[in-house]
Amino acid sequence: MEYKKLSSFSLLCIASLMAFRLQVISAHLSKEMNSRPPLTTHVLDISSGVPAANMSVSLYQFTNGKWDLLKESITNTDGRCQDLTSRGSIPSGIYKLQFQTQQYFERRNTSSFFPFVEVVFNLNSQQEHYHVPLLLSPYGYSTYRGS
């Protein structure tokens, strides 16, 4: 197959369009990153290979020697909670997410070992995004700091 040579003008136009497209994509990604809530979670049921939809999740903050409930939520069809905190910053401190795993597995007629899972973590910067995923099966779980 024979390719035609592009003129300098054509190359300049293509380069300009590509540069413009890059600016649009960068602006979109920057806006999306800045509009994320400071704390999110994602629950994946690794025993079935699907997101853990409709799981109750609670957010607590440790203050004055006790846990204060801040927010209760339910994972969406993708297993995500993105409404645990409002847009903007969250104060530094010790927090915990409590996942109601037994209720989730009971709805699937599956017995489980853990009635709930609590993940305790430090939030050290009001400028960062914190993502706390939970990989779950009826008899085990794993978590980490995601992005």
Binding residues: 42, 80, 144
Residue ranges at the known binding site for substrate: 42, 80, 144
Q: How many helices (H) and strands (E) does the chain have?
A: 2, 9
Q: Is 87 exposed, middle or buried (0-12, 13-18, 19+ CB in 10 A)?
A: exposed
Which of these, 85, 106, 95, 101, lies nearest to 134 by C-alpha position? 101
Give the Cα-Cα-Cα angle 82, 88, 90 (nearest 5 degrees): 80
The length of the chain is: 147
CA distance 14 to 6: 10
Q: Strands 39-45 and 130-137, how do they pair?
A: parallel
